[in-house]
Amino acid sequence: MAHDVFVSFSSANKNYADEVVRRLEQRGIRCWYADRDIPSGADWAGSIIAAIRQCRILVLVFTDESNASQQVLREASNAVSQGKAIVAFSLTKSKPSSSLQYFLASSHWVDAWSMNIEKAFSQLEMKCEMILNGTLPVSASSGPSVRSFSDGSAKSVLRRTGRAVLGVILFFLMVVGFFMTVALGSAETVNERLDYFMGGIALIIPFLGFVFGPKLKRKFNMKSAVITPTTIAMGAMIALYLILLILIKIMGY
């Protein structure tokens, strides 16, 4: 049976390949992949070459395992030599190996690791459909479909410098906040003490949010762009303030 897409993957990632095939075939995009479509007893290598020749797109399930796979490298090489479109469905932030990078230089990319998985599959389906109907070129020579493989060392240095400066500022604010909290002892009323305390906390919590916010996002898999270290810190501060107000009411001050 004729097919539109050849799915290339490492055997360690069969579950991802199964899902890619299921999603694409639900959209009417006919897929071929070895685990299902090579008949028992057939010549494996010959079947792979024939399937790539008959397809229009090679979808590469790009993972750390497929990045190290010689079989995947040979399939990508064969697809490029036959002028096939390649769409890399990337489930890892890793760069392709130098050998694989050569064959993926003008491929289309869906960085599934950086987004909601449903959105990633939608992008994969859309790119395949656009290539099949001719509205997206086979070779992604420029534009957002092309991934840059540069090491980004200059940007990395700038990010580290910015974080260091921000860390120093936040540490200074934390020290100021600590002394404001210590000033509680000189306050004459409960309300004054609360004001001093919250003033100190207001300066300390952003530092804590900066340190622990990213870890909380990763731990609880919080993808929303609204949830940042700053908003986590603000939420914690507001919650603490409300708790203190309730305690003051309960204690009758």
Taking only the tens place, the pLDDT of each residue in 59-74 is 999 999 999 999 999 9
Looking at domain 5-132, which CATH architecture does it have?
3-Layer(aba) Sandwich (3.40)
* DSSP 8-state symbol, 142: S
**pLDDT number for residue 94:** 92
**pLDDT number for residue 58:** 96
Secondary structure (DSSP) of 111-126 = EGGGS-HHHHHHHHHH
Sheet with strand 31-32: strands edge to edge = 31-32, 5-8, 57-62, 85-90, 108-111
Q: Nearest-CA neighbor of 207 among 182, 235, 175, 238? A: 175
pTM of the predicted structure, to 2 decimals: 0.59
- Greatest mean pLDDT among 51-60, 135-144, 173-182 lies in 51-60
State yes or no: pLDDT of 77 exceeds 80.
yes
Tell me which of 130 and 193 has the higher pLDDT: 130
List pLDDT tens digits, range 200-221. 555 555 555 656 666 655 655 5
Whether the CB-CB separation of 138 and 108 falls below 8 Å is answered with: no
What's the rounded Cα separation, in Å, for the pair 244 and 249?
Answer: 9
Tell me which of 97 and 214 has the higher pLDDT: 97
**pLDDT number for residue 212:** 61
List pLDDT tens digits, range 14-45. 999 999 999 999 999 999 989 899 988 899 99
**pLDDT number for residue 144:** 47
**pLDDT number for residue 123:** 94
Tell me which of 136 and 247 has the higher pLDDT: 136
∠ CA 170-176-182 to the nearest 5 degrees?
135
In this structure, is the dihedral angle defined by the CA atoms of residues 15, 21, 22 and 23, taken in order, positive or negative? positive
For the chain, give every domain's residue range: 5-132, 153-251
Q: How confident is the model at residue 179 (pLDDT cuts 50, 70, 90)?
A: low
**pLDDT number for residue 246:** 64
State yes or no: pLDDT of 157 exceeds 60.
no
